[in-house]
């Protein structure tokens, strides 16, 4: 998953903790192997390498694709799993130059979820288009693991996949889980503290990946409609919701609202925290 992952188990039983950890790792690995676009031969690879052909989806993949479509509609096109191809021209590592408008224009015709065919648990991509579940995969994995563990195990468990977090329930002592939000300026140090009793939190944004172009600062989340990053984005957004998936979508959309991020988040009525 390309980020540090951990499971915190509130129990004194070491054998149980090992069992729980194994269960969590098993499920995380299963999801990663199935939906990662870096692995050859898996379902996503098949979908992305069968231009013009229908690929059958199993029940789980079908649910994810259906969800991606619903998010695309709700976000008026801002959340789009076909926008991954923009990463070919955008690298936020400080070494690559900002792409030209012409380079962006060349890719735009191959972006847009409404261009792919999806019905009756089958998906067909036109030539040149790709899907990438990176925007929801990690949060989905957190929720799946949380659900699995909550049904089977009594202790309070916290699942943290690279900053996307959910809890199965409260700690034994009934105290809340305390989660420190990293200060973008001083990594490894918490700049603020969230207390969780239930639900999940997700963080979008990476303070270390951004571009300074002509004196303006752009976040690294790209707008699928323009092909460009959004000006005036917060450096990171953390959102709390009942599920990690919900929190992740709202956090991503908040980043795309640029300087209106806080206004957007207030309207959604979820607990949130913006770093600027």
Which residues here bind another protein, judged by CB under 8 A?
12-13, 63-64, 66-67, 70-71, 74-76, 78, 140, 143-144, 147, 154, 170, 172-174, 178, 191-194, 197-198, 223, 225, 241-243, 245-246, 249-250, 253, 256-257, 260, 264, 267-271, 273
Using the minimum distance from each CB to another protein, give the nearer residue, 95 or 267. 267
Contacts of 267 (CB under 8 A, 6+ apart): none
Q: Tell me how far, at minimum, the Cβ of 113 lies from another protein, in Å.
A: 14
- The CB-side HSE value for 238 (13 A sphere, CA atoms) comes to 22
C-alpha dist (Å) from residue 150 to 24, 62, 137, 257: 11, 24, 20, 34
Using the minimum distance from each CB to another protein, give the nearer residue, 91 or 228. 228
Using the minimum distance from each CB to another protein, give the nearer residue, 67 or 91. 67
Q: Tell me how far, at minimum, the Cβ of 266 lies from another protein, in Å.
A: 10
Angle, vertex CA 114, rays to CA 108 and CA 115, nearest 5:
60
Q: Tell me how far, at minimum, the Cβ of 140 lies from another protein, in Å.
A: 7
Using the minimum distance from each CB to another protein, give the nearer residue, 50 or 172. 172
The residue behind tokens 């054998």 is 15
What is the rounded distance in angstroms from the CA atom of residue 183 to the CA atom of residue 248? 19
What is the rounded distance in angstroms from the CA atom of residue 258 to the CA atom of residue 252? 11
What is the rounded distance in angstroms from the CA atom of residue 234 to the CA atom of residue 217? 10
Cross-strand partners of 160: 6, 165
Within its chain, how far is the Cα of 256 from the centroid?
Answer: 14
Using the minimum distance from each CB to another protein, give the nearer residue, 90 or 140. 140
Q: Is the separation of the CB atoms in 234 and 274 below 8 Å?
A: yes
Using the minimum distance from each CB to another protein, give the nearer residue, 85 or 196. 196
Q: Tell me how far, at minimum, the Cβ of 175 lies from another protein, in Å.
A: 10
Angle, vertex CA 256, rays to CA 250 and CA 261, nearest 5:
70
Using the minimum distance from each CB to another protein, give the nearer residue, 33 or 197. 197
Q: Tell me how far, at minimum, the Cβ of 53 lies from another protein, in Å.
A: 26
Angle, vertex CA 88, rays to CA 87 and CA 90, nearest 5:
55
Q: What tokens appear for 107 in the block?
A: 């890719």
Q: Tell me how far, at minimum, the Cβ of 122 lies from another protein, in Å.
A: 19
Q: Tell me how far, at minimum, the Cβ of 221 lies from another protein, in Å.
A: 13
What is the rounded distance in angstroms from the CA atom of residue 202 to the CA atom of residue 245? 8
């Amino acid at each position: 998953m390309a980020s540090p992952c951990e499971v915190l188990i509130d129990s004194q039983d070491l054998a149980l903790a090992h069992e729980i950890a194994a269960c969590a790792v098993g499920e995380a690995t299963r999801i990663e192997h199935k939906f990662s676009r870096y692995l050859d031969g898996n379902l996503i690879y098949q979908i992305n390498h069968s231009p013009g052909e229908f690929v059958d989806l199993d029940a789980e993949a079908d649910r994810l694709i259906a969800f991606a479509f619903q998010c695309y509609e709700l976000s008026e096109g801002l959340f789009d799993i076909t926008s991954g191809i923009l990463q070919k021209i955008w690298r936020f590592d400080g070494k690559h130059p900002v792409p030209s408008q012409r380079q962006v224009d060349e890719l735009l015709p191959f972006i847009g979820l409404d261009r792919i065919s999806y019905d009756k648990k089958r998906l067909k991509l036109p030539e040149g288009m790709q899907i990438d579940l990176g925007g929801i995969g990690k949060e989905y994995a957190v929720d799946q693991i949380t659900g699995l563990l909550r049904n089977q195990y009594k202790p309070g468990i916290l699942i943290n996949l690279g900053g996307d977090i959910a809890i199965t329930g409260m700690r034994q002592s009934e105290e809340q889980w305390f989660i420190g939000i990293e200060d973008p300026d001083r990594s490894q140090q918490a700049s603020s503290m969230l207390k969780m009793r239930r639900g999940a939190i997700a963080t979008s944004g990476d303070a270390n990946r951004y571009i300074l172009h002509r004196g303006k600062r752009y976040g690294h989340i790209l707008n699928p409609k323009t092909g460009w990053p959004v000006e005036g984005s917060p450096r990171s957004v953390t959102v709390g919701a009942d599920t990690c998936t919900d929190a992740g979508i709202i956090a991503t959309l908040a980043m795309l609202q640029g300087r209106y991020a806080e206004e957007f988040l207030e309207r959604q009525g979820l607990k949130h925290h913006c770093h600027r």
